[in-house]
Amino acid sequence: MLAPTVDQVADDFEGRAKVVKLNVDDNAETSARYNIRGIPTLLLFKGGEVRDQIVGATSKDHIARLIEAQL
């Protein structure tokens, strides 16, 4: 459900931020490492550390604001 929005954000921030998707079913270790309990979960990293997190559906504008705050 959130995949098209994430794709749009990736296009909007191309060259400024890296946006990647991870299938939690195929990557259980990563899910456990970041304590992901619900999907969708968006994690915002900066310098290798989680700076913000969104659990559940959200708007493109909300995601963009969080990214802009870290750039």
Domain CATH number, residue 18? 3.40.30.10
Can you give the residue range of the structural domain that contains 31? 3-70
Contacts 24+ apart (CB under 8 A), 39-44: 40/1, 40/2, 42/2, 42/6, 44/70
Q: What is the pTM of this model?
A: 0.88
* pLDDT digit string, tens, across residues 18-43: 999 999 999 999 999 999 999 999 99
Range list of H helices, the chain: 3-12, 28-33, 60-70
Total number of domains in the chain: 1
Confidence category of residue 1, pLDDT binned at 50, 70, 90: confident
Per-residue pLDDT, averaged over 39-62, amounts to: 95
Q: pLDDT exceeding 90 applies to what percent of the chain?
A: 96
- Mapped onto helix, strand or coil, the DSSP state of residue 7 is helix
